[in-house]
Structure 1
Amino acid sequence: QPAATVYLIRNKIITVNELNERVAAYQAEAMASCLSAAITAEDMLDILINDEVVLQGAERDGFFVSDSQTEQLLRQQKTYAESQIGRELTQEQFEMVVRSNYGVSLNEFKEKLRETALVDLYVRGKMAHVIDDWSSPTESEINDFFRKNRASFMNPELVRLSHIFMPFESDGMSKAQVKQEMEKLSRWIRYDTYTFEELVPRYSKDPDSRNRGGDIGWLAYDDTQTRALLGPAFFDEVFTLALGKPSGVLESTTGYHIVKLTIHTEPKLLSIDEYINPESSVTVRQYIKQTLENRNRQEAYLNAIDQLVDQLRSSARIDIYYKEGL
């Protein structure tokens, strides 16, 4: 049963079953993301019509995305999934990730990638003059945004730390032997046999920090991802350490550490010309400017899509048969 037909270069029937499936998929995705699932069938049908006229318009006007380009997009998605999971995926595992995250087969996902790329190519090719019609925010707009969102610009409690690290099993030693070795290093530091700085390059098994005096950068107290990665007990213990005094042997999820805090800062509201965090060269003002520029660019892009869709719909024959509740 047709819900609508769309004709620009060919007749496309959008069925009621297809419409209902898309509404159900949208609602399921919205609920999984804890967003409002409210969308009417009429609104979804309007989206499907818009999608179809754009795809037909792209074909009519000679825009296309090749199979090799689509395969490249798919490889990029696989690489991204692997970076999120932290390991390489077989093709079968990647297919499982796609189905779990998007609820579609790999072939359906690949077609969606192709269509998304084609729409973007078409919009940028036909409506570049609209996309480029955006302006940088004024100083007044930047200052106004800062005043309205001042509470958001706050650095949490921060520590900068150095460590001597050994994984649970190191150089053929068992976990118990590694801990015993680390306790020996801790005694040497405590009794001034060697300094922390002397022991780092000789004993630490962290290659990234060993040649920097053990420095591993900053930890933020509200960083839940790093807290989970290192373990809550280790994470909380680090924030109680005295500044400049090496700790005893601490256990994380990955191994044993002797930690030394080099900086410890309390939570702080930032002024507009302060850096957004201690390691950044970007000020709050620059961050807000970039945020507002991105917003303006996005609004221009969405405006370009709206204008292109209006042009295509005015050229197409569209018949709508669906009436909700009937």
Structure 2
Amino acid sequence: MLKFSKFVLLSALLATAAGAQAADEKAAADKPAALVNGVSIPQARIDMRIKAAAQQGQPDSPEMRKAIRDDIINLEVISQAATKNGLDKQPEIAQQLELARQSVLAGAYVQDYAKTHPIADDVLKQEYEALKARVGNKEYKLSHILVESEDEAKKVEAELKKKGAKFATIAKAHSKDPGSKDNGGELGWAVPSNFVQPFAEAVLKLSKGQVSAPVQTQYGWHVIKLEDTRELKVPTFEEMKPNLEKRKQQEAVQKLIEDLRSKAKIE
């Protein structure tokens, strides 16, 4: 019983100390950092910018804090001048200000929703297993030649069958893909699921060194070469967890937006 009483007392003291610290922090945040023509710039505004800078990897220093304070003072000075000239009353400027206000509110709402609706680990693990199944256990080193028509693709195919023909040379001469043409059609290492379905299906049918028949996708006609394969080392769940969580949160937010729209009266 004595141990329990001590525990309760300790908890109360810690709660009181935490409350006092929070109150001190709030008082410090409410304290004006500067006055510009009688307008107060709260310390909280500067602290917010300092926090954002730290999150971007900028080291905290007196010089950095001074630069941020000066920047915010400059913004206040310019804003007051703009307001004095009536710019805030111009329709276009007023719309921009309203959009900025809505953007901040919407961002806060989404962040609050993500905080109060965390993604459960079992959901993330299901997503991880589905991802593993989708990407498989093999990577493919690919090259391709992209042309506009089936006739062009067949001509490329025939040219590749000629003795001494080099895929890279023909890709540089004929491919319409600006991202790979200059590299001889090289796409590098990838998993089939990275590509559109007809392309992926064609890749899975190829043996090392083999060239596909012409394949049509929404981008045009492809002639694909499988250069090599290797075992794919899938990152562990813990390594993938932050990305999986971000993806599932984005899906949840998208659903939230759809739900809000469905309940809204939009005319």
Whose helix proportion is higher, 1 or 2?
2
The higher relative CO (CA closer than 8 Å, separation ≥ 6) is in 1
TM-score > 0.5 by shorter chain: no
Look at both structures and tell me which one has the larger radius of gyration over its CA atoms. 2
Which TM-score bucket, shorter chain as reference? 0.3 to 0.5
